[in-house]
Each structure stands twice: as C-alpha cells, then as structure tokens.
Amino acid sequence: MSVLTVEIRSGAYYDSVILMQLQRSLMDFPGVLDAGVVMGTKANKDVLEQSNLLAPETEAAEPDDLIIVVRGKDNTSADEAIGKVDELLSARRSAGIDQEYYPKSLETAIKMLPEAQWVLISVPGRYASNLAQYSLDSGKHVFLYSDNVTIENEISLKKLAAEKCLLVMGPDCGTAIINGVGLGFANKVRHGPIGIVAASGTGLQQVSSRIHQFGSGITHALGTGGRDLSEQVNAITARQGLDLLSRDPETKVICLISKPPSPQVANELIDLARKLGKPVVVNFIGFSTSSRKVDNVYFTASFDETAQLALDLAASGLDESGLSIHNLDRFTASQKYLRGLFSGGTLAYEALLILQDYIPNVYSNTPINKEFQLLDSMVSKEHTIIDLGEDEFTVGRLHPMMDNDLRIRRLLKEASDPEVAVILLDVVLGYGAHPNPASELAPAIAEAKSSARDKSRYVEIVAIVSGTDEDPQGIQDQIKVLEDAGAIVELSSETAVRQVGRLINSLILEPISSGSDYIQKIDIDILRQPLTAINIGLESFMESLLAQEAEAIHVDWRPPAGGDERLMSILAKMRKES
C-alpha cells in the first residue's frame, strides 16, 4: 500500500517553472509513484485532489505557501524524496542564472541597474499591479506577463504609462521583440523591415515566424495583452505601438494583429492606421470589412496572408506618406461637402460603397441605407451622390450619357453652394455615348471653378473617365480637355473616389475619433538602444534574456508581508508617504 507524505513551507514562493521542474525531479527518485509541487491556491488544491494527492493538512495552506506532496511505495521512499528538495532547488539555482547577488526587491534591483529600460513581471496577478506601478513610477517600461490582473488595474496602469510616455505590454502578454531581443516566449527571427503590434501572443509568434521563413525579418514586435482592444481598455497600448513604429525609420510596413476586437475600437484603430503614412496590414480575426484595402491599410484573413502581404509591401518600397495631394488651405472654413453627379448608376453605387470608409453619412436618390434617401432628388443635402440616370431624371429626356444639359446645370448649382468643396463626375465613353462629352463638360467645369474663385473659394472637380484608347471619342483628347479646364482626371473609379474621400475626411470639422488622447510620443530611442532589463518572476525569462546577450538582473522576489493583504496595504502606504 502506498503512502502520502506532505510538507508545507509557509511563504516560500517559487515560480511555476521551478515548481514543475522540481516535481519532475522528485518523480525520478526510486520508490516515488507520483508527486505534486504547487503553491497553495484553491485551483492548485483542486488539481492535487484530481490527482489523488490531496491530504487533509494541505487544506490549511495559504496561496503563498509551498505544498510538496510525494506518494511513495513506502515511508522511506517518500521521506527520502522530500529530503532532497533543498538540494534540488539549490542545484536548479546554480545551474540557471549566473548572477552573483540576487536582489530581494524591485527597489534594490533598480539601484543595481538604474539604466534598465524594461521591467519584466511574471509574478501572480494579485501582486503584479503594484510591481508594475512601481516600475512606471520609476520611469521603466513594463512587459507584464502576469494574468489575473483586473481590467480596472490594467486600465489604470496603461493610463499612467501613457501620461509618463511609457509602455505597458500586457497583462497576459506572452511575447515581444525589442531591438532583436525576444521577451517572454519569443522566436529567434532575423532583423528586417516589418514591425508588428499584436493583441495575440501566438498570432505575433506565427506571423513573425512566417516572415522569417519567407526570407524577411522583424524590426520590433510589440505585444499589448489580449484585452487591449476591448472597449474598456480602448487599445491604449496598440495606439502607442502604432505611433512608435510609424516613427521608426527602419520599419517600412506594420502588421496589426488581434483576436476579435471591439468593433468600435477596431474602426478607430483602422482610422488611426490610415494616418500613419506607412502600409499597415490588419488581421483582426473575425472582423469583416467591405474592402480589402483602404488607402494604406490592407486587410487579411490568415496569418500566412498577413506575413506574405507584409513582405510584398516591404519589397515594393511603397511610400504611402503622400496620401492626399490636395492643399487644404485653398478651401474656406465652411467648405466640407461632396457632391457626386453620375451618369452611370453602378459607378454611383460603387462610390457610395467606397465612401463608407471615409464619410459617415452620404445622401442619395439611390442610397445603400434607406435612412439617407433624399426627399427631393433635385436638392442635395450635406454629402450627396446623385445617379442622374434614374427614372426621375430621364422621363422625357435623353440619358445623361448622351445629354449633358441636366448635369451641367446641376454642376453649376452645386459649385455655387458655399459649403461644397468637391464635385465628382463620371465621363463614360464608347459607342452610343455622347460623341464629345468633354467639349460640353469642360466649359462648365472652368466656369464653376472661376465662379468659386470670384467668391474667394476653391472647388475641386474630379472626373472619372471610363473608356479605352479605341473608343471613338478619343480618350486622351477627352482627358486633356478636362484637365485643361481644371479637373483632376482619373481612369480608376476606386482611385478617384478614395482620393475624394480622403480630401473630404480631412475637411470634416469633427473627424472620426482615433483616440489620440492616448497617443503619447514615447521616446523612439527605446527601440534603438540595446535592451537592458530587470526580471521579476519566471527565471526562464531571465535565462532567455541572457542567452540573447541582453544585460539583465533577476530579482529573488517573494510576496511582501508573506502575502498578507492587510500588511501589504500598510507597507504600500508607508512607501508612498516616504
């Protein structure tokens, strides 16, 4: 019959990796049938019970007590195994981190290594927040691996970090790469032109690994913690990460990765990404978009697609910094509206679809959302797209592809509106269409722009020319006449609408919020300097830092006041007062 031997060590804290290794070592002793080495939390006691290792004396163990349980064939086998615990722990320490002195507190560690920029924290969640706050108050960035940190504490820590121009990656942040050094669980990837911001640890690892396998590399990969893109946290760390990588000259492309985010936060981050001036590849798992690309933002549905597209964009050398070619100073303060006058119904519908990425509400006689149905098609309202080929305009008259009269009248009317900034037209060529539409539209365009100038305003007119070089109207001649009249001419309807959308978005007095209050200009040198860190918690994280030749020290941390909540609060208060 087997016997169960138990030893409880009060206030003897060890990280979970050491406990796992100790448990495995005990099971290698002769006569040991099973072993359990855990801290005395309720969850760990449940695990011991399921393994048939729970003894009556373990019930009184506190969360910060070390429980050692050995089931042996006999008392001698079990006692001998437990008697080797200290020797095994000592051997583990001597074989691990080569450090002459282990500071017992974060305060001491900071005094020993004041130049440390980072503090890595992987202690139980109920202690992690205080350590993270002390780190921030000491001017250190925080990599917070610990889980079970309340969302209230996460928000408080991240807001404090933003105020101090510091970064909190986490809680529950498992991985990051800073200047070539992996933090937490990180793969060894080559240096390259792609940066990552991720609210998904394994997503970050998979994309960075695939980028490496495809032949490229990573500048920096910033983890945020899984809750960062929730509505409560509001992507504080993700916003800071995007800002940092946008200012890093070595980062040519940014990947933004997350498990399903809050739709509101996702839209705000996409809006922010469009202002960065670099290509941004977004993989929000399960997040649907109407477009695969909006300006400099590209949407992907898998990690492989994310990695490959980032490589392609980095290799193409795309410069997305000049997204708007318009001089906004030419417009008056009142000018902010778009008016679209289309002869092609499907072109008008496509414009409405694309404009959803830029302008909240667009009215039309053929709206996507019936909420924005024009009451009177002859009278525009705010942003308006009109399909002049609809029945109400063609009764008793030719289709606008053949007859420009109605559109010319409407163009001049819209241009006279002091709130109109942009007029968008399509010019459809080909057999059956007007034989020379530019000959009639160009004078109206010139008159509209001249009339606006006389009133100290500026009206931008953008024309989409749809046709080929073999059409009877002569596409190049049509383009030249329109451009000579002052129109911007595009052959791509998508390019034209997006260009107009960007311009209007820039002119709107109250643009969609991008949470800029949280974007503090963190010193870019944090991404350039050799990484120096203080590690509290998992010794394996310290060992990986040393293996990567980073300068770091490990804190031999134990729960303050033996884990007594009341005494801990008293100590914290005394520390603040001192």
- Percent of the chain past pLDDT 90, that is, above it, reads 61
Compute the mean pLDDT over every residue in the chain, rounded to the nearest whole number: 88
Predicted pLDDT at 13: 72
Yes or no: say if 373 and 381 are a contact pair by the CB < 8 Å rule.
no
| Residue bearing tokens 């009451």 | 375
Predicted pLDDT at 392: 85
352-405 residue pLDDT tens: 999 988 887 999 999 998 999 999 999 999 999 999 988 888 888 889 899 899
Classify 70 in phi/psi space as left (phi over 0), alpha (psi -120 to 50) or beta.
beta
163-177 residue pLDDT tens: 999 999 999 999 999
Give me the mean pLDDT over the 247-257 stretch.
96
- Domain spanning 337-507, CATH architecture: 3-Layer(aba) Sandwich (3.40)
Return the domain boundaries, the chain.
3-95, 106-320+523-561, 337-507
Q: Is the pLDDT of residue 516 over 50?
A: no
> Which segment of 115-129, 188-202, 562-576 scores lowest on mean pLDDT?
562-576
Predicted pLDDT at 2: 86
402-452 residue pLDDT tens: 989 999 999 999 999 999 999 999 999 999 999 999 999 999 999 999 999
Domains 106-320+523-561 and 337-507 share a fold: yes
**Residue 94 confidence class, pLDDT cut points 50, 70, 90:** low
Q: Is the pLDDT of residue 79 over 60?
A: yes
Predicted pLDDT at 510: 45
Give me the mean pLDDT over the 232-260 stretch.
95
pTM score:
0.74
Q: Is the pLDDT of residue 514 over 60?
A: no
Cβ atoms within 10 Å, residue 306: 26
Predicted pLDDT at 60: 83
DSSP, res 277: S
Give the CA radius of gyration of the chain: 32
Of 162, 170, 70, nearest to 125 (Cα)?
Answer: 170
Give me the mean pLDDT over the 79-105 stretch.
76
3-state class of 192 per DSSP? strand
Tell me the C-alpha distance between 300 and 282, whole Å.
6
Q: Is the pLDDT of residue 265 over 50?
A: yes
User: How remote is the C-alpha of 346 from its chain's centroid?
Assistant: 35
Predicted pLDDT at 18: 80
Q: Is the pLDDT of residue 469 over 80?
A: yes
Q: Is the pLDDT of residue 511 over 50?
A: no
Predicted pLDDT at 102: 81
> Which segment of 314-323, 508-517, 564-573 scores lowest on mean pLDDT?
508-517
Yes or no: say if 237 and 168 are a contact pair by the CB < 8 Å rule.
yes
- Domain spanning 3-95, CATH architecture: 2-Layer Sandwich (3.30)
- Overall CATH class of domain 106-320+523-561: alpha beta
3-state class of 29 per DSSP? coil
Cα angle at 559 between 554 and 562, to 5 degrees? 145
**Residue 55 confidence class, pLDDT cut points 50, 70, 90:** confident
Q: Is the pLDDT of residue 130 over 70?
A: yes
Predicted pLDDT at 513: 42
List helix spans (H) across 257-344: 263-273, 303-316
Predicted pLDDT at 520: 64
Predicted pLDDT at 481: 96
Q: Is the pLDDT of residue 578 over 60?
A: no
